[in-house]
């Protein structure tokens, strides 16, 4: 009750309209001047720090985000800087603190709710779907819910079936939510800032295995005003023979596959989706109309997946341009095995993408014929 009273007091004192968000810097330009390399962990931490500094309505809550500095050290140093009123350690009760976060957003605050893993968001899915995602529509636009749900998503390493699921397709199927999945440090900074500033609920799907990865970041991306547009994909590598759509950790796999394919004379265009909902259908279809072939890649289950939606979009809008059947690469349609050798077989690998692209380009025996 003390926490709820604090949130109510802070919201009533602000006086800023719920729908007001700061203008964003257009990031449709391609930045080429890399200033330095930072890890994805550092990128997320700096984005949180800068947004908390810029807007007193932004606060963090979740398990171990304060005293322990975050389970993955994403929130390191923020408790000391902003105090326990804005960095709130919660009990192990996702349904409880997520509901408090949604209520705080109703009052005009901008909560950033951390799940130690998105698998635990299932404990809070009623608040995410029924309270956060639907309130703006059900109130005829009178209630905005500016809240971010963030944390690691998808397979890590050796954590078994109950801690390895990808929730991109789960949450992207729900109207009212925006779903983002960063890959690089620049993605992480720009998209998290956009999520926090957005007037709608955003599901922000990170990847545990990427936290320690370093990426070059441009000087522009290090500016505190930097922000990436929600709903816009990035062409990571241009090509003319086959389009490969990827997101999160799979972007790295897609780029490695493209390097291998290039040595065999196949020019692959790699699209980093960045935003799962809204989906940048325009960039995808424009690419397919150029390459005439499509390979989709994701870690999640194949049925009703992100790749299935992309394939449908291309068939609906660009069917006449296709020179080969679309190819879908996804996780195995089984609960994630615990054994390391089986776990590797259950998630997409670089060689899977290479084989699919070569099939699409008629450079190998089709699966049906091989069977």
Catalytic, 163? Answer yes
Of 238, 244, 310, 317, which Cα lies nearest the Cα of 277?
310
Judged by DSSP in three states, 193 sits in helix
Query: Dihedral, CA atoms, 114, 118, 120, 121, nearest 10 degrees?
Result: 80
Query: Dihedral, CA atoms, 91, 96, 97, 103, nearest 10 degrees?
Result: -160
The CA–CA distances, whole Å, from 68 to 139, 280, 283 equal 38, 38, 41
Three-class HEC string of 253-265: HHHHHHHHHHHCC
Active-site position among 163, 213, 220, 317? 163
Active-site position among 42, 63, 94, 309? 94
Instruction: Indicate the DSSP class of residue 228.
Output: P
| List of residues 6+ apart from 64 with CB closer than 8 A | 70, 71, 89, 116
- As given in the structure block, the two tokens for residue 228 are 């990436």
Report the alpha-carbon distance of residue 47 to residue 298 in Å, rounded: 26
Of 258, 252, 289, which Cα lies nearest the Cα of 272?
252
The answer to whether residues 241 and 254 touch, using CB atoms and an 8 Å cutoff, is no
Q: Residue 368 CB: number of other CB atoms within 10 A?
A: 8
Our measurement of the distance from residue 47's CA atom to the centroid of its chain's CA atoms, rounded to an integer in Å, reads: 15
The answer to whether residues 62 and 90 touch, using CB atoms and an 8 Å cutoff, is yes
Report the alpha-carbon distance of residue 228 to residue 212 in Å, rounded: 22
Active site residues: 94, 163
């Amino acid at each position: 009750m003390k926490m709820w009273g604090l949130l109510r007091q802070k919201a009533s004192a602000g006086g800023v309209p719920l729908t007001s968000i700061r203008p964003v810097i257009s990031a449709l330009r391609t930045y080429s001047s890399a200033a330095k390399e930072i890890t994805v962990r550092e990128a997320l931490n700096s984005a949180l720090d800068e947004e908390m500094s810029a807007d007193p309505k932004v606060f963090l809550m979740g398990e171990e985000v304060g005293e322990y500095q975050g389970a993955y050290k994403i929130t390191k140093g923020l408790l000391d800087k902003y105090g326990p009123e804005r960095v709130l350690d919660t009990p192990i009760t996702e349904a409880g603190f997520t509901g408090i976060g949604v209520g705080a957003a109703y009052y005009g605050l901008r909560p950033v709710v951390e799940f130690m893993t998105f698998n635990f968001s299932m404990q809070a899915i009623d608040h995410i779907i029924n309270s956060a995602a639907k309130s703006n529509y059900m109130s005829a636009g009178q209630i905005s819910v500016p809240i971010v749900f963030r944390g690691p998503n998808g397979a890590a390493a050796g954590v078994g079936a109950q801690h390895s699921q990808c929730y991109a397709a789960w949450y992207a199927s729900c109207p009212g939510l925006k779903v983002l999945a960063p890959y690089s440090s620049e993605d992480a900074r720009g998209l998290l800032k956009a999520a926090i500033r957005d007037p709608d609920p955003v599901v922000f799907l990170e990847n545990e295995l990427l936290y320690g990865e370093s990426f070059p970041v441009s000087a522009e991306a290090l500016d505190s005003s930097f922000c990436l547009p929600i709903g816009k994909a990035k062409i990571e590598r241009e090509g003319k023979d086959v389009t490969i759509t990827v997101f999160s950790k799979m972007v790295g796999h897609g780029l490695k596959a493209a390097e291998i394919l290039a040595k065999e004379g196949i020019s692959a265009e790699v699209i980093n989706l960045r935003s799962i909902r809204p989906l940048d259908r325009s960039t995808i279809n424009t690419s397919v109309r150029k390459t005439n072939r499509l390979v989709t890649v994701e870690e999640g289950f194949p049925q009703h997946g992100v790749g299935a939606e992309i394939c449908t979009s291309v068939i609906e809008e660009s069917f006449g341009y296709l020179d080969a059947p679309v190819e879908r690469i996804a996780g195995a349609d089984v609960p994630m095995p615990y054994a390391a050798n089986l776990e590797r077989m259950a998630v997409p690998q670089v060689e899977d993408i290479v084989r699919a692209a070569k099939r699409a380009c008629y450079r190998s025996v089709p699966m049906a014929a091989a069977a």
